[in-house]
């Protein structure tokens, strides 16, 4: 009887496996969504609470939050862009250094490859074949050292602009959320109901972000949700406390 392990996969099996692989996360766009969305919510809610503590009205609150949100969205997008560019430049600088080390000290670098794969459990003839294959192609050799020794991955140019756009847009969207109760409240003074609804709505959205993060990656959905709420609201309430402290008596 032939073992199932010795049966060669069919074309259908290969296509199914390929489709399954394509579902894996190759980047981390969720990080940009969380970064922008959380920052927008927390920043805007902090302003809302601060103006409420100072006794401002709805028109001032909305105008202030929108103005601050526009600047914050552009700033966050720019920060995401420059951060990604810096990471890309760092990768390229380290790659040049690694390439030079391979050219200047090939035997030492070859031994490093051997030790890397020894730690992965390879030995004997298999290990030597792996080392031989890797060092026979300088590009593969450098790529291997960058990934396995230094632990850094190349930053694609297309991902840099995408990251900046995602962070900027999600910051803008997040900034609108705390304003919703006031926009539809139809009042000119800051009543406790709108303020309460704003905090509840922000907490709900932060919980949703934390839950989605856990479901998309790993972790407990409710723990991630609660943690996101605690971190976000704690940061926002600092603005309220500060405004209360400096409010004229």
- Examine residue 24 and state whether it is found in any structural domain, yes or no: no
The residues, ordered by sequence, that sit 6+ positions from 76 with a Cβ below 8 Å of its Cβ are: 35, 36, 39, 40, 167, 168, 171
Model confidence band, residue 154 (pLDDT cutoffs 50, 70, 90): confident
Question: Would you call 129 exposed, middle or buried from its count of C-beta atoms within 10 A (0-12, 13-18, 19+)?
Answer: exposed
Average pLDDT score over residue span 94-100: 94
- Examine residue 17 and state whether it is found in any structural domain, yes or no: no
pLDDT at 5 over 70: no
- Examine residue 10 and state whether it is found in any structural domain, yes or no: no
- Examine residue 173 and state whether it is found in any structural domain, yes or no: yes
The listed range with the strongest mean pLDDT (144-153, 163-172, 187-196) is: 163-172
pTM of the predicted model as reported, rounded to 2 decimal places? 0.76
- Examine residue 12 and state whether it is found in any structural domain, yes or no: no
- Examine residue 19 and state whether it is found in any structural domain, yes or no: no
- Examine residue 155 and state whether it is found in any structural domain, yes or no: yes
pLDDT in tens, 221-240: 899 999 999 999 998 888 77
The domain in which residue 208 lies consists of 29-246
For residue 247, the model assigns a pLDDT of 66
Model confidence band, residue 3 (pLDDT cutoffs 50, 70, 90): very low
pLDDT in tens, 28-86: 678 888 889 999 999 999 999 888 877 778 888 899 999 999 999 999 999 999 999 99
For residue 167, the Cα-to-chain-centroid distance in whole angstroms is 9
pLDDT in tens, 16-32: 555 544 444 445 678 88
For residue 24, the model assigns a pLDDT of 43
- Examine residue 109 and state whether it is found in any structural domain, yes or no: yes
The residues, ordered by sequence, that sit 6+ positions from 191 with a Cβ below 8 Å of its Cβ are: 185
Q: Average per-residue pLDDT in the chain?
A: 85
How many domains would you assign to the chain?
1
pLDDT at 4 over 80: no
Contact assessment for residue 63 and residue 193, using Cβ atoms and an 8 Å cutoff: no
pLDDT in tens, 108-153: 999 999 999 999 999 999 999 999 999 999 999 999 999 998 898 8
- Nearest-angstrom CA–CA distance, 237 and 239: 5
For 195-224, give the DSSP string: HHHHHHHHHHHHHHHHHHHHHHSSS-HHHH
For residue 114, the model assigns a pLDDT of 93
Model confidence band, residue 248 (pLDDT cutoffs 50, 70, 90): low
For residue 186, the model assigns a pLDDT of 63
Contact assessment for residue 203 and residue 194, using Cβ atoms and an 8 Å cutoff: no
């Amino acid at each position: 009887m032939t073992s199932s392990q010795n049966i060669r996969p069919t074309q259908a099996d290969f296509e199914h496996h390929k489709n399954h692989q394509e579902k894996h996360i190759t980047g981390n766009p969720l990080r940009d969504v969380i970064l922008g969305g959380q920052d927008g919510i927390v920043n805007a809610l902090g302003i809302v609470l601060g103006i409420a503590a100072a006794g401002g009205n709805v028109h001032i609150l909305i105008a202030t939050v929108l103005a601050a949100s526009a600047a914050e969205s552009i700033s966050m997008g720019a920060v995401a862009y420059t951060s990604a560019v810096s990471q890309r430049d760092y990768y390229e600088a380290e790659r040049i250094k690694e390439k030079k080390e391979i050219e200047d000290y090939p035997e030492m670098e070859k031994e490093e490859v051997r030790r890397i794969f020894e730690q992965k459990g390879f030995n004997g003839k298999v290990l030597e074949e792996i080392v031989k294959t890797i060092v026979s192609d300088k590009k593969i050799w450098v790529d291997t050292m960058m990934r396995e020794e230094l632990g850094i991955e190349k930053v694609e140019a297309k991902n840099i602009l995408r990251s900046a756009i995602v962070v900027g847009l999600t910051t803008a969207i997040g900034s609108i959320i705390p304003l919703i109760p006031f926009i539809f409240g139809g009042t000119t003074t800051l009543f406790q109901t709108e303020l309460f609804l704003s905090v509840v709505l922000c907490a709900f959205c932060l919980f949703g972000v934390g839950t989605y993060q856990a479901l998309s990656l790993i972790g407990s959905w409710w723990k991630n949700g609660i943690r996101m709420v605690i971190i976000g609201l704690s940061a926002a309430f600092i603005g309220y406390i500060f405004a209360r402290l400096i409010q004229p008596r």
